[in-house]
Amino acid sequence: MIIVLLFAAFLLGIPIAFALGIVSLGQIVADGYPLLVVAQRLFTGVDSIALTAIPLFILSGGLMLKGGMSDRLVNFADLLIGHHPSGLAMVSILACMFFAAITGSAIAATAAIGGIMAPIMIEKGYDKEFCAPLLATGGSIGPIIPPSIPLLIYGVMANVSVAKLFIGGFIPGILMGIALMIYSYFVGKKRNYIGREKKASISEILVAGKDAILALIMPIIIIGGIMSGFFSPTESATVATFYALIIGLFVYKELKLSDLPAILLDAAKSTGQVLLVVGAASLFTWVITVNNIPQTVGAFLADNVGSKFMLLLIINIILLIAGTFIDTTSAVVIFTPLFLPIIQMFGIDLIHFGLIMAVNLTIGMCTPPLGVCLFVAGSITKVSLKEQMKDLIPMLIVLILVLLIITYIPSTVTILPNKFVK
């Protein structure tokens, strides 16, 4: 009944954090627990040193976006692969992958790369109905390639290494990007989508690479520092913020001091939204735990699901559906405590499951009816959701195939963390 009431609240349009809080409060009152529990769990849910990375990663992303890094990344990607059939489409995906390693946000990647690439692609004869879903699905790579706020929150809730989760996101994110580029290549050949008139020279690539190098080494500094043990994932967010500020102000000189108040305000608003959901989810987790809901669900699945293969298939279906109408952060905080005991019961690696969950939910960000990346890309290209559907469906199929590879070949996630992170 708790779960049913929660999803009924979602369907009524009640904001996620308030829906979690209202349902949890009602159950606490019904069970006769003191209301002091509400304040305790709301505070305990956000009282984590690891969560201080959230406002810092959000802030660093805003600084990088305003500081001119996206233009340089797009130009570099264009010179690398823009000469192939459907070259501009492939450039868009590669630029989204680069940008994912800087911001970790699907919406930011879709908006930043889409704002640059969409007008160019349309001018070169690409169909708007193709461009919009391509940019949305490309943007979905944002929370997979580290840094990643959903993986950070999952790591805190599941009590597993955030560093391992970050490193584990590399191969899945790269697979998603390569799969979309291969699909775009064959569509481009069929529809005669042209790329650059000629292949860029080595000198042109080197010049563009030099211009973009400060943006490109950003993820290397973050991930290299984490892997070497020089700093923690939380400390890496601080490094990222100062790096973005210095490069934007004093090197690229596109970031102005007058831009900082608006960037700080946006970061504060986004952080407040995320932490309110996390706090409410902590309360909800306590309620379902004291009512033995995860254990009950786990026992039911253990009795009725005969294999790990079927369990993962069922969870994938649930998460794909949930991701279509619940934002990624909210879905992570709702489903992690629900699925965690079941996953442990079946002996599934928690790092592996974290990436399965993240990929599922980011695919949901570009899946109707409420895929937020679709609306961002649609607003840029002036294309409705209905007009995007023809080209969107095969792109979603491509991403789901990658999801199945990640799900049933655990080494695609675990090989790098096991090798490089102690």
Per residue in 177-200, pLDDT tens? 999 999 999 998 888 887 777 788
**Nearest to residue 101, comparing CAs of 141, 134, 52, 72?**
141
> For 324-333, what is each residue's pLDDT tens digit?
777 787 788 8
DSSP 379-395: HHHT--HHHHHHHHHHH
Q: What is the mean pLDDT of the chain?
A: 85
| pLDDT band with cut points at 50, 70 and 90 for residue 137 | very high
Is residue 127 left, alpha or beta, with left meaning phi > 0 and alpha meaning psi from -120 to 50?
A: beta
Asked whether residue 252 carries a pLDDT value surpassing 80, the answer given is yes
Please report, rounded to a whole number, the percentage of residues in the chain having pLDDT higher than 70.
98
Instruction: Report residue 74 as tokens.
Output: 């797009």
- The pLDDT score that the predictor gives to residue 370 is 66
Mean pLDDT within 22-30: 89
* Residues written for the chain: 422
In angstroms, the first-to-last Cα distance of the chain is 42
Is the bond into 369 cis (omega within 30 degrees of 0)? Answer: yes
User: Could you tell me how far CA 93 lies from the centroid of its own chain?
Assistant: 15
Whether 195 and 378 have beta carbons less than 8 Å apart is answered as no
> For 107-123, what is each residue's pLDDT tens digit?
777 887 888 788 888 88
Is the bond into 147 cis (omega within 30 degrees of 0)? Answer: yes
**Residue 348's CB: how many other CB atoms inside 10 A?**
18
Rounded Cα gap, residues 244 and 221, in angstroms: 12
Please list the helix, strand and coil fractions of the chain in percent, rounded to the nearest 5, in that order: 80, 0, 20
Asked whether residue 310 carries a pLDDT value surpassing 80, the answer given is yes
Say whether pTM exceeds 0.85.
no
Rounded Cα gap, residues 318 and 320, in angstroms: 6
Q: What are phi and psi of 168, to 5 degrees?
A: -65, -15
DSSP H or E segment with residue 415:
helix 411-420
Contacts of 246 (CB under 8 A, 6+ apart): none
> For 374-395, what is each residue's pLDDT tens digit?
888 888 888 888 889 899 999 9
Rounded Cα gap, residues 45 and 47, in angstroms: 6
